[in-house]
Structure 1
Amino acid sequence: MFREPLPVGFWHQGALGDFVLFTPVLDAFQEMFPHVPLFLWTMPAYKDLLYGKPYRDGLASCDEPFWRSLFVDDIWASIPVPNPLLQCQAFFWVGQKRALPIVDRLKKRLARPVYWLRSFPDEQTDVDVSVTEFLVHQMASLGFTVPKHRPKLAADPHVVKDVVAWLGRQNLPSRGYGVVHMGSGGIGKVWPTSRWRSLFQVTSGFFGAPMVLLMGPADKRLMPYVDAFSTTWGWPVYESGDLKKLTALLSGAGFYLGVDSGVSHVAAAMAVPSLVIFGRSNPAVWAPQGNHVHIYLDSWTPQDVFGEGKDCAGKVSAHLLQCLHKVMGI
């Protein structure tokens, strides 16, 4: 199908978890066509997730002037097409239906096939399949049957050394510690802080395991609670928005606990035994992938997150503890 070693391009502007669930498509495509270079236009920060991937050096920003111009009626037809895009023998735009007019404009600018992949299913009308499987099915319907993969990420060993040095300063081992990330880009996905507190109390701080509390750029509202838990249990807080450092920290983790977030997808893709708490989102579609991932379903409202709702009381079920025991290996 792609006999010449001319590049194939992909465009993806999704959030972190969406992107992690998309990477198996790139991995499978590269496996099928190892001599075909891949150009990937996405969020520049995602390059830090792709250590060891052959297509890492082909990543560029999805916010370049040409891409922005496609959304502007007066200039989309005249702005010069970037040279890397001109080299592509085919192009895949990964997005939702609202992007179809933009895809049509791109087809008019490029003298080569342009395909649209819907980035994730509509939970009201589509079947309950994972985002990755949904993308693979679409590739097959377009005539590109690629093998099914799960997300798989690796850490940069040079950055791992820096994280190990930080762990040593916290009197923590270089491997086998637990990582807790309470936050998410959507505040309604955050498990109520009272329930986190109850879990920590019931388990006596994860049964005495060495722990790290992880904080990202989207977690500022949780900082007072994280600080309080850090003081109570003596757990250090690792603050970073750097994805290289995130993968480095997770590469040595013995287990991970989080919610429906991009970080949870990264942990799963790093093969860390994980317990991920879901509320309103459909785990059949959005759950991190892997047999080492355990999903715990709970129910709460956004008002419950910070103790302002009617159902924010701490709850630690036997099933939750069973899931925790599995990921901790006890």
Structure 2
Amino acid sequence: MAAAVLLGLLLARRLPDASPPPAAAPAAVPVVAKEAAARRDAIMSAAAGRQPQAVGTARADSLRGTDVDGGVRVDAQGRVVRDRELRRLFDYFLARLGERSPERIREDLLQWLQQQPQLDAAARAEVVALYDRYVELQRASAALGNGADLSADLQRLRELRERELGRELAQAWFGEEQDYAAQTLARLAVARDASLDASVRDRRLAEIDASLDPSQRAARSDSTDFQSAVAQSRQFDTADVSAAQRAEQRRQRWGDAAAVRLAELDQQEAGWQLRLQAYAQAREQVFADRSLSPAQRDSRLARLLDDFSDAERRRVLALADEGLLPH
């Protein structure tokens, strides 16, 4: 089971053309401080009157070909149920921030709501009002910033959510992940406590893990497996370990099937790096050609991306913006 989940995580996180996996409970402290950072940055830009930078506006659509995630439930009286599924619906539409304007995204949501037969006009209006509150909350959350004390950051975020949404709605939308984040911070504090001997530390960590529900314990285990596999692959790359040695060590640790799939991932990653290098070289040649007008340069740069999928284009352009393309 661990090997199967590990491969799923690797497929989702290492391959350049992989679709993002469904949102999971946070497995590390940075989730507390950076939750939905890209989405919130875009919301802040919109709130300040700036349009987010679009990537490949004519073609980019991160939701193309996907089913709507989340949904709207109503109770026996036709009132909207304010549950986690509703927040997932909002997150689904907000995934287009940077590709579409905030106003267009709101219109997309409204159009989708109008196609739901279980919702009358009053229910649709309530959902849109809740969406507006959620967007404002995300903007305010981003404005909080991050401090040196992660526990204090989490507490400030919790208080903001309860102040903006009320305790009941804040718990419905964020309670599970906040509790998990708090447990993660407690675990980190124990792990870093140099005054504890190994046996006491292990016992306290086990007590914290015992307070998690089964799905959260599985998420922590899966995250550990993923991190271990990535670290192992990096060690292999640094030491220039041969394919045969990699396969043998992986078989011993993860099993035969996982070793085979990890080897395939190595090959795909190597192919991605070659494509990225070719793009970087061609891009440099375009910028070096002083005979090109700005329009001609932009056209050639756009054509260089034709061989990449939409997801790959976003990754390539992000690497270019950050100056991280290979030389």
TM-score category, normalised to shorter length: under 0.3
Higher relative contact order (CA 8 A, sep 6+): 2
Between structure 1 and structure 2, the one with the greater Rg is 2
Structure with bigger helix share is 2
Structure with bigger strand share is 1
TM-score, length-scaled by structure 1: 0.25
TM-score, length-scaled by structure 2: 0.25
